[in-house]
A = this chain, B = another copy of it.
Amino acid sequence: MKAEIICTGTELLLGQIINSNAQIFSTGLASLGIDLFRITTVGDNKKRIEEAIEHARKMADIIILNGGLGPTEDDQTREALLRVLNKEEEVHAPTLQKIREYGMSRNLPYLKNNDKVAYVPKDATVFVNKVGSAPGSAVVVDHQVFILTPGPPHELRPMLMNDILPWLREHYGLEDAIKSRVMKLVGIGESSAEEMVRDLVGSTNPTLAPTIKKGELHFRITAKAHTTARADAMLDDMEKRFRSKLGDYVFGTDHDTLENVVGRLLIDKRLTISCAESCTGGLLASALTDVPGSSSYMHFSCLTYSDEWKERLLKVPGDILMKRGAVSVETAQAMAKGIRAMTGSDIGIATTGIAGPDGGSLEKPVGLVYVSLDFQGNQVTKKLLLSGDRQHIKELTVKRALGLVYAILNGVEV
């Protein structure tokens, strides 16, 4: 099975944005064992889109078009496809209704252009857009499959994974050739981890490959087999061997996120948590409340950015702030203790550090951060030396703080 992707969007040719959709498609198609043999990017130009489709028809079994399904004049992808295939369009009633209801519920003026979004090729299989408005659709003509997909990555990704790939699998009666699983770790560095699984990294099928992702360490296991069941068994076996070496650091797999895993743990153990943040500026509390149901463990958190508020609300002793400074192990500990005393939460967690770009010194450089955790009176404090820009330092600190909560709740030594 050969596939070609045609991405449309003048902004891609002007270099305004990176084409991250190409990667979403290629990863997704690879998981079905479909051979992606070409990606073509053209501008929002009907003639060029048509030409690209005609060219793709000469070689590809599956032709996927991305972008250009919106309401504006620029959006011409569906029109180009209809013209090449000499097909009519029809309205997708549920989408039209959704668009009109959306407009009415917000008292927006009725704009005929918006209706355009609800049209799909006649007799197409429609993939409803659960995140945005433009639906995806697939038509089969002369044994070739043509698929229209929305441009925004956050709309494309769930539609591809949940609807389009399953549809392709069924349409072609495909059996998975390649399967993969990501093991997600926190609290250990890449070199140390690789050292511990050196023999497994040498394996050719399944393969095992590490990547670093914003404070997390991921190992991807990829297995190739004639049947899905066999590939799954190979993944299971490798996962077992991997966990026997690094299990303490594995917080999840695939779509697990660290905040979700920590949130589930807190819910299961019926524990509450409160954050007293400084350098993370609210981002730690935000991560903990990204989890549905987080109101059961999070009742209150605060951002005490100034020394005054650290003293006033969290009762950090004034002489600690004066003598040791706001960025110190003592202040971090007092903040964690203080937020617990104030809220009665089971866990108090505090961050204080220098996120930069200014405010660093020889003694306390940009990237110096303390994370302190007080779990029912038992304190652990970590000194971090991070690098990167302000946002990156905030993000890494949040990961390390969540990793600390995860380790403590699992009784792993930190």
Binding site for B on A (CB under 8 A): 10-20, 22-28, 30, 36-43, 45, 48, 52, 55, 71-74, 102, 105-106, 108-109, 111, 113-114, 131, 152, 154, 178, 180, 182, 189-192, 194-195, 201, 209-212, 220, 222, 275, 277, 280-286, 288-290, 292-295, 298-306, 308-309, 313, 356-358, 385, 387-392, 394
Contacts and interface: CB of A to CB of B under 8 A. Distances in A.
Contact of A22 (B12, B275, B292): B12
Contacts of A41: 22, 38-41
A30 B13 CA distance: 8
Contacts of A284: 282
Dominant secondary structure of chain A at its interface with chain B? mixed
A299 B289 contact: no
Nearest to A22: B19
A222 B74 CA distance: 14
Given A295-B305, A313-B300, A26 B38 contact: no
A111 B283 contact: no
Copies of this subunit = 2
A302 B302 contact: yes
29 contacts: A11-B220, A12-B39, A13-B37, A14-B30, A14-B222, A15-B23, A15-B25, A15-B28, A15-B30, A18-B23, A19-B19, A19-B22, A37-B48, A41-B41, A131-B387, A154-B388, A281-B286, A281-B288, A281-B290, A282-B285, A283-B283, A292-B358, A295-B305, A299-B306, A300-B303, A300-B304, A300-B306, A302-B302, A303-B303
B52 A38 contact: yes
A391 B11 CA distance: 26
A41 B12 CA distance: 14
B298 A210 contact: no
Contacts of A27: 14-15
A282 B289 contact: yes
A281 B292 contact: no
Contacts of A275: 282, 303
A328 to B, nearest CB: 17
B42 A13 contact: no
A34 B294 CA distance: 50
